Amino acid sequence: MRLRNIKGSREAIEINEYVINNPEDMKGKWKLFFGNSNPIHIEVGMGKGRFITALSMLNPDINYIGIEKYSSVLYRALEKMDGLKLTNLYFIRMDAEDICDVFERNEISKIYLNFSDPWPKDRHAKRRLTSKNFFERYDKILIPEGKVEFKTDNNDLFEFSLEQIPEAGWNLAAVTRDLHNDEAMNIGNVMTEYEEKFSSAGNPINKLIADRAVKL
C-alpha cells in the first residue's frame, strides 16, 4: 500500500485529545484510564478507523483502542472523530511489535486484525500480524477467554494464518472463506473501508476467529 504523507499530521496527532502519547506509562492501568471495568478491545493496524469507530458507537459498554503505525493514516481516523464525543475510543501511534510494552497480561479481551499487510516476501513472514511470533505476543496480553478476529481478501495470507495459528498453540474456533455469504459469521459484521472496496469488486472475504479454549 502506497501511503501519501500529510504535512503536519504527526504534530496534529500529538496534541489530539483522542491520542494517547507515551502509552507505555498506561501498562496495567487501562481500566483506570477509561474510568470503568468494561472490557477492552483493540484493533491492530486500524487504517483510517472506520471499523473501530463504528464499533465504539455500537457498543458504548466496551472500550476500544485503535493502533496504527503511520501518522498520515491515523490522522484520517481522527478526522472521523469530529463531533462524535466518544468516551470509549482512543488511539495509539505505534508499531504492533511493541504491544507487550503497552498492555499487561490479561488486560485485553479481544484483538481485531483487518486486511493486514500481507508482507508477501518469505523473509518478511515474521512481520505478518497473524504469524506465530505475533500470536505469542497476543497470548501475553489477552484474558484466558480472549479472542482474535482476522479478516482479509488475501488468500495466501489467509492460508498462512490457518497454518501459523495452530502452531502457536491456538484453536481455530471459526473459519469462512466467504464471509458475506456465511449467515452465521456475517451476523453483526462491521465492514472496513477495504472490505467494502474488495467485496464490491466481487472478491470473497476470508475470516477466522482464534481462541485458546481447551477442546474436549
Between strands 206-211 and 171-176, the pairing is: antiparallel
Contact 186, 126 (CB under 8 A): no
Kindly provide the b/e burial profile for residues 33-45, where b requires at least 16 CB atoms within 10 angstroms of the residue's own CB: ebeeebbbbbbbb
122 in active site: no
Q: All 3 cell numbers of residue 66? A: 485503535
Q: Which long-range contacts (CB under 8 A, 24 or more apart) does 121-130 make?
A: 125/160, 128/157, 128/160, 128/161, 128/164, 129/44, 129/45, 129/96, 130/157, 130/160, 130/161, 130/164, 130/165
Calpha distance 119→123 (Å, rounded):
9
Among candidate residues 117, 122, 182, 211, the one labeled active-site is: 117
What three-state secondary structure class fits 88? Answer: coil
Contact 190, 55 (CB under 8 A): yes
- Catalytic residues, by residue number, are 117
